[in-house]
Structure 1
Amino acid sequence: MTATAGWPEAPEALPSPVVDNHCHLDHRAYSKGVEGGLLIPVDEALDRAAAVNVTRVVQVGCDLEGSRWAVDTAAAYPSVVAAVALHPNEAPALAAAGELDAALAEIDRLAASGDHVRAVGETGLDYFRTGADGREAQHASFREHVRIAKRHDKTLVIHDRDAHDDVLSILDDEGVPERTVMHCFSGDAELARQCVERGAYLSFAGTVTFKNAENLREALRVTPADRILVETDAPFLTPTPHRGRPNASFLIPLTVRFMAGIAGFSVDELCRTIDENTDRAFGGAWARRT
């Protein structure tokens, strides 16, 4: 398959299928030197991923428009399932406009719209981009997302940036849903242990390949095999050696091969483990793209 201008070449295909458990197919990617950014059409994105044995994806919403798009896309493509939510950075502005409750009610409706909606996320807390004045709204939004996930028996997908203690505190207070995924895990080995103790799956992105991310590699080493997931967070967090270029599901093999070496698995063993874990994490298998 030929490379689209501006995108890295596809890596060698994986020996067994895996799932990109967190991507944003609707997000306009960025690339230095490419005016206006890039966007891979859904069919092409899924075909390019399937060609390297990334045969299923979880499309994640971050606002109402994106969540509706995720639901519609999952309904149209059997190899895609949807996650719906308001990103924590959306909550303060919605609260200030008096629109947070109505937006959360719409997320609740979308979460109940069918089996192709498997998760509520990405929700959580983000103290990197939102200051102290926005934390109350983030906390309220996160709590309601936890309740929505539990109400509809959906997987909770958590965004946690610089807010580890408060994320765990709210989870403990609300009660951890049966299936919880720590999206783009960003902590150290101790946080990994605490999340696993609460029954969470830890999803590793291309960041685990970065030179300055030894904390993530230590976290991966202590994560039980049955709790490991992989994701792109595409178009962001592109793995080495393509850091700084746009990311897409077809680059997952780079991250998986790196993770296998750190975690002490063969590549095939880790692929099979991730695939099985994803089925459990998202409430059962769904169709593959072939």
Structure 2
Amino acid sequence: MTDSRLAERPPAPDRLPIAVVDNHCHLDISRDDAPAVPLEQVVQEAAAVGVDRLVQIGCDIASARWTAHVVDEHPAILGGVAIHPNEAPRHQEAGDLDEVIDEIAELARHPRIRVVGETGLDFFRTGPEGVAAQEHAFRRHVAIAKDLGLALQIHDRDAHDDVLRVLAEEGAPELTVLHCFSGDVEMALECVRRGYFLSFAGTVTFTSARALRDALAVTPLEHLLVETDAPYLTPTPHRGRANAPYLVPLTVRVMADVLNVSVPELCEALSANSERVYGPWGEAS
């Protein structure tokens, strides 16, 4: 695929028979040379293929402020706010980590902010020198979610054991989501045992992701969510292009095949689970 092809927007997939939720997307982020798309168009294109509700995640302080604003304007969008694990060491170095987390706690009181996250640990982009700051921020976000009675969304990259350890030590919120789940069968079973939700992204469609599909196959329907992580992790056959909520049906159909269930049955479960975790979308205020 040439560079010019990478900048093209993929065609819309077939509409899902029952509407679902994109459980995690970054509507304020543009990728590479992808054309900018107005937010209203993003929402309309997603609804046209059966993705009628979105969870916008703001994972730095500017993005969190934007998220708290945009959920007031679009009934289809609920929000989540946090300081991303890879942002935590930067704030620690600047001396304002707790200050920005305090602001996250205030933003999370907005009635249409239903998620604290994405928070967690990332040992891929941050080296050992940043682990303490990441873990401190992670623990504070867990406490905020529990204090406010909100769902928690976890970012876990190359840190499975430590993420599970911190959640066990702190006591995970009742509604805890492993965003862009990347673990194996053993981790999936442990997360289900603990009552967590596993959210699968376009990575589950990748040819190389056999272990991830095996993890999906052992996850009960009542623990499943789906996401884009847009503009990243675009599902096959459009890997490399910018992702967007309207591409969720590609991931849903692969998930249904792996689980050996019908697409309508999976859609029903995904929709119900999303409302259970985040509550009703209702009207923007």
Segments of structure 1 that go 5 or more residues without pairing to the other structure are none
Matched residue SS, 2:231: coil
| C-alpha distance in 2 between matches for 1:237 and 1:213 | 12
Structure 1 length-normalised TM: 0.94
| C-alpha distance in 2 between matches for 1:167 and 1:101 | 20
User: Cα offset for 1:38?
Assistant: 2.8
Partner of 2:38: 41
Partner of 1:80: 77
User: Cα offset for 1:113?
Assistant: 2.1
Select which of 174, 198, 219 maps to 2:170. 174
Q: Counterpart of 1:24 in structure 2: which amino acid?
A: H
Q: Counterpart of 2:9 in structure 1: which amino acid?
A: W
Partner of 2:18: 16
Partner of 1:66: 63
Runs of 4+ deviating beyond 4 Å: none
1:188-207 equivalences under 5 Å are 188-207=184-203
Matched residues, number: 278
1:141 maps to 2:137: yes
Q: Deviations over 1:5-51 (max 9, x none)?
A: 72100011111100000000000122xxx4xx432211000000000
Q: Deviations over 1:112-171 (max 9, x none)?
A: 122x01000000000000000000000000000000000000100000000001001000
1:192–1:219 CA contact under 8 A, matched in 2: yes
Q: Counterpart of 1:18 in structure 2: which amino acid?
A: V
| C-alpha distance in 2 between matches for 1:70 and 1:39 | 18
User: Cα offset for 1:288?
Assistant: 8.8
Partner of 2:49: 52
| C-alpha distance in 2 between matches for 1:43 and 1:104 | 30
Matched residue SS, 1:216: helix
Select which of 251, 258, 267 maps to 1:255. 251
Q: Greater CA deviation, 233-242 or 5-14?
A: 5-14
Q: Deviations over 1:180-211 (max 9, x none)?
A: 00000000110001111111100000000001
Matched residue SS, 1:88: coil
1:25–1:40 CA contact under 8 A, matched in 2: no
Q: Counterpart of 1:195 in structure 2: which amino acid?
A: C
RMSD: 1.2
